[in-house]
Amino acid sequence: MASKEIRVDGDRLFLRPLTEDDLTDEYLGWVTDPETTTYLDVQHTSPTIESLKAYLATFDNAHTNFAFAIVVRDPTDGPGTHIGNITLRVNRVNRYGTEGILVSKAHQGKGYGTEARSLLYAFGFDELGLEKIVSGSAAANSASIASNERLGFVKEGHFAEHVLVGETRVDSVQLGLLKRNFRPYTP
């Protein structure tokens, strides 16, 4: 499956392969904004356009590593508005994937993250033949946890002082979603 062939459509948004053209100064602003990245590992780096290009190059969008732009549909059928990205790293042997997501601060709290996750999970289960998707989160990231629980995830593990948020070690949780428990997003 070549990356240019992939497009996952939802009600309000769609996923398409993230490209170097998406790695704009605006995008760099998202990944360097402390509020947007509070619970993301990128908060401990100093991203540049070049380092983002190197990161993007780790995704093949064809077999094991997928990086999608989250795009809000344009009501006039224009190209839409890129508001974040979502990734899926696939273990083909054990048929599971690990997801990651970033939604720009201006678009948080509107259900876009949950809808994007739902589209990604449907793609993983239906197109890639996965049996499970996992997600890790700082235990205090209640919005991310609630988003995944709405889609059928359950907490499978709790890790004490496992990740850094700022300079503080905090607990994290591991969540898992079995294909049979997936509840697709409905607005």
Pairing of strands 96-103, 65-72: unpaired
Average pLDDT, integer, range 12-16: 96
Which pLDDT score, from 0 to 100, does residue 87 have? 95
Is residue 12 within 8 Å of residue 115, measured between CB atoms?
A: yes
Q: Looking at 16-25, 57-66, 123-132, which range is the least confident one?
A: 57-66
pTM over 0.85: yes
Q: Report pLDDT digits (tens) over 26-50.
A: 988 888 877 776 666 666 677 789 9
Distances (CA, A) of 98 to 25, 50, 94: 27, 25, 12
Cα dihedral 51, 53, 56, 57 sign: negative
Is residue 97 within 8 Å of residue 128, measured between CB atoms?
A: yes
Average pLDDT, integer, range 153-161: 95
Structure tokens at 135: 């997600």
Burial of 112: CB neighbours in 10 Å, binned 0-12, 13-18, 19+: buried
The C-alpha atoms of residue 16 and residue 81 are separated, in whole angstroms, by 12
Which pLDDT score, from 0 to 100, does residue 39 have? 62
Average pLDDT, integer, range 78-86: 91
Average pLDDT, integer, range 6-14: 94
Average pLDDT, integer, range 141-167: 91
**Going by CATH, does the domain composed of 3-131 fall within 3.40.50.150?**
no
Burial of 20: CB neighbours in 10 Å, binned 0-12, 13-18, 19+: exposed
Which pLDDT score, from 0 to 100, does residue 20 have? 95
Query: If you search the block for the tokens 């356009």, which residue do you land on?
Result: 49
Average pLDDT, integer, range 106-130: 96
Strand partners, 84: 70, 103
Which pLDDT score, from 0 to 100, does residue 90 have? 97
Average pLDDT, integer, range 114-118: 97
